[in-house]
Amino acid sequence: MSAAALAADPVVPAIDRTIDSYAVVTLGLSKRFGRRLAVDGLDLRIPVGSITGFVGPNGAGKTTTIRMLLGLIRPTSGRGTVLGHPLGHSRAYLPRVGALIEGPTFYPALSGRENLMVLARLGGIQTKRVDAVLRRVGLGPRALDPFRTYSLGMRQRLGIGAALLPSPQLLVLDEPTNGLDPHGIAEIRAMLRSFADDGMTVFVSSHLLAEIQQICEHLVVIEAGRLIFQGGVEELLAARAPELIVRTETVQDAVQLLRLVRSVGRSARMVGEGESTTLEIAADCHWAGELNRLAMADGITLVHLAERRSTLEEAFFEITRSSYGQMRRASDFPRGDQGARGAWTPEAGRR
Ligand code: ATP
């Protein structure tokens, strides 16, 4: 079925006429291994030309999803398109997809250039492309050195080079930053940015949000096989409920203010001790004036008042906290005006 036919297909309502805007669209994509549902009804949308991060804790189902997208394993149910072609017809789109999954295997004694030459010949790709690719991934000066002498970062770059050989429109990288130092991550980031600037769509998985945050502008977060967020990094941050961080002159004042804040229906808690005793109140800066008046009416002086929004890492831990345990501050708030998990995500998965 062509992309146009698929888009017009009345039984695929969610794979709609915006199909050309997405390099990957899935609807209810699922994979079961025996009793284990590794991927559970994923509705993915990966915008064309984006660097999209695919994040989730170990075992969340990232590799399984990627393997389905690459036609390496068959979905148990669901459907989707990659570069406009249905998942079942991977031969139609795989020539335009470059992939690096689960670490590339290269011959240690052969140079980077020789390794890519072997891969190009095997893949029916013109070998003259090899030198251009080596330059693109910054390995030009070391191209003739044996692979075994390469650093981890160079090995990853050669792996990305291998994925670039077919001049892909979609580049799928499974954990490309695994084990790299900040310098290596910065190099990968700059490289992926340049690919996206050329119109390539980059889909990059990681279980480390801190790395993905540096590289991607768009995020797909999964946990236990389910979609829990997809959208812009900024969107994820903006959607997080803010807090007011407040300090008073004395601990007694903090205790009294906590009581007052709760008495007007706000969720709040006290952290720290002694001079660093702080109140964290579930409210944004618009409530700061009212808080001030409340404190003043009771003779309490605020010595610090600021709004804080969660970092991306905090937001991530919070939305995936069932995997990570009770690690986050916001989860300590009694349910007040903090949004329920899933309620704030633009495209929250089914919960
Ligand atoms: P990681 O970050 O650790 O690589 P992941 O998000 O890529 O994790 P997957 O490798 O997709 O997760 O695994 C998802 C779940 O499916 C896990 O519980 C895993 O044990 C299971 N699984 C994956 N492949 C198979 C298989 N071939 N047979 C049985 N179970 C599998």
Quick one: pLDDT at residue 322? Answer: 43
User: The tokens of 31 are what?
Assistant: 């994979």
Confidence of residue 185 (pLDDT cuts 50, 70, 90): confident
Topology of the domain covering 3-237: Rossmann fold (3.40.50)
Q: What is the pLDDT of residues 161-177, one digit of tens each?
A: 999 999 999 999 988 88
CB of residue 207 inside a 6 A radius of ligand 1: yes
**For 349, which DSSP code?**
P
Quick one: pLDDT at residue 229? Answer: 85
Taking the C-alpha atoms of residue 349 and residue 351, their distance in angstroms, rounded to an integer, is 6
Q: How far is CA 230 from CA 45, 131, 234, 342, 345, in A?
A: 8, 37, 11, 11, 8
Q: What is the pTM of this model?
A: 0.72
Residues in the chain: 351
Q: What is the CA radius of gyration of the chain?
A: 25
CA of 63 to the centre of ligand 1 (A): 7
Question: Which residue(s) pair with 202 in the sheet?
Answer: 51, 171
Pocket test for ligand 1, best of 63, 66, 212 (most atoms within 8 A of CB): 63
Among 3.30.70.120, 3.40.47.10, 1.10.3720.10, 3.30.70.980, name the CATH number for the domain at 241-308.
Answer: 3.30.70.120
Q: How far is CA 287 from CA 12, 115, 307, 310, in A?
A: 45, 62, 10, 18
CA of 98 to the centre of ligand 1 (A): 21
Quick one: pLDDT at residue 338? Answer: 30
Residue 227 amino acid letter: L
Q: Name the residue with the closest Cα to ligand 1, atom 19.
A: 59
Going from N- to C-terminal start, the domains of the chain cover 3-237, 241-308, 313-350
CB of residue 58 inside a 6 A radius of ligand 1: yes
Phi, psi of 228 (to 5 degrees): -120, -15
Nearest ligand 1 atom to the CA of 206 is 2
Count of C-beta atoms within a 10 Å radius of residue 52: 25
Taking the C-alpha atoms of residue 101 and residue 106, their distance in angstroms, rounded to an integer, is 13
150 SS3 class: coil
Quick one: pLDDT at residue 27? Answer: 95
CA of 287 to the centre of ligand 1 (A): 45
The percentage of the chain sitting over the pLDDT mark of 70, rounded to a whole number, equals 81
